[in-house]
Structure 1
């Protein structure tokens, strides 16, 4: 079912590994052309455009683009007790981890009367997107909202696609998650049009909408399909974004000590997301690879979304990669830079410590990616498509700006004056030097 790539006996550098390792074709460039007119339409037409686009793309015209408060309350009341308990526990754990991420201000005293103060300032308003296509992700609401709240962002808005089966409102569990988190600004707006609404704001076209339906935001975060990624690319620079998220990925680095059933279950769970999802096993054990293949065939055919899973596992983005040993496997996974990386080897913690490119690392047989998706406390909004080489997962830092505050008195500046003038003149910027020298005449 899954293709094999045999790298045994080959010594490949990073460029060569990138050439042979599988990767999903995202197609953002092509989607940009489809998305550009949508952004223009929302920017010009506001609420009226959002309603027309909802009918075109979601098959429903929302009566309320902004979800009424009573709908949020009703969604919480409709939750099953166990789902509510799960969401509350996820919120608690994610909040605890993200509270510890908040950096502290500090002051560096360079000399008497000379100091630079490092401040961390939250952005003032964020737009958080929760998908609602093949699957519904209240867990993504938790990940995005908690990180922004712990960063101290004062203004939060959530958007999720309107659902025909829910009277034009987003999925009830999305609404319930928002209510449990204390978010009352929620919009029944999906896809690229939600990104446009957040980036440019949207004027209301009906009396109940008021003058402005949605104010512009500073940062847009949250996963989505290729059209959401394309829209984020187009508005980057107008607003900050978390990433152009591509199809989800799992890589599992495993040796002969791994349980083939665990590995197979984890590969399938990631393939369940999307036909373009990538599931990659890297192993030095031919026996393990064969056992995983057998378990995947048994389990994949029995799972609820078997067709979707089969397409993902059989696709060019998924593979079993055979290597000579764990060291060679580490070179492969570091070159691949997976969104999710599981380490299922002997001495897994020591192996994990040598990983430098992964969105999140799951260590040992009892730390599956599914745990991180919901209740590990870590954030599941992670870099895809190899961007883990330079990008981090969503966290408090995604909503903070570093601001340096310079505090010098007269004496501290005077000590440096001649040297500042000399360097300024050397750069042929004499007015810079005069801005300092002139203070002492």
Structure 2
């Protein structure tokens, strides 16, 4: 068989399968690293999305803290429409105005001192790879150790994975880059003991450990991290990939803790509002100077299209007063959930619109499944936690509809956890048409 015939046959086969259900085509064409998709989504508007059957869902996960402005926001769409025909991409041999303006804006929002700098990437894991390199350059032969926290998650690429504590993620890909050690979060004595030899290049930490179940670091511990690293000449690198860009009610979560300014910070997710872009900010000229020409790079990071979208996201958050909205709504949501007085709910952790609802029993996956059936998208980062990270533009009424539905969802989850069928009360669904109006 000739090469042309093989290609033709393969094309014909795929054309024939194009009439198959989308879920079947996904299973046939994709490497299954994400498992089986819960739904095939085809459209979004505001805080709602629709699947290929025309059913609507209130998106309380926001692409896992990505869709800061929801779906189809005019500011984001307009930025894409204006920038794409003007200049979409150039190589890193050249600079562009959106790239420069975005870097200046981030430095300003971060309160970074004169001489700080930004490196743009395409994702959070790539931003953390850059931070890993920064740590290595700072440490050299004299400081070969890097500390990360137990229950941390910093990404899936090899360097970021080395900083991620979960054994199930790490072990299939060993050996990983060496020199990384994990210390218990919140344990100041363990931190001080680990730093005592003064051979640690950097400590990497998330202000709120999202994948661990939305577990904030205690403010006192964050301050201890800053003081101990400063005293020992160790870099403090804060991973704000999930907590940054207004998610917690401040531009960056660490800004809610007085006296904590990192040496480097990584960003992504909400920065592009759905467009892939990440960033590493180096605070001060000494840290910025650790990476010099030729020591790191990227093809797509900071291209004018991504930078223009990110500027639109940041501008909208500022102009629409979304930081105050996030703070107020996050607190009222937490209070509303706790006011249910349901003994199956133990606590609400987190800040702003990054919240973990603690459950008394390990039924969170079943609750998330029941929520999806009822028209809510949430997830279970651990067996006893429901996480929400909705668009920052979500309304009190929309978010309140989920709080009000929680008892019914917990009712539905209990028999599901026991292996029984669990019909969901339709009255638990959010107030909206359940069909795509388009």
Same fold at TM > 0.5: no
Higher helix share: 1
* Structure whose CA Rg is larger: 1
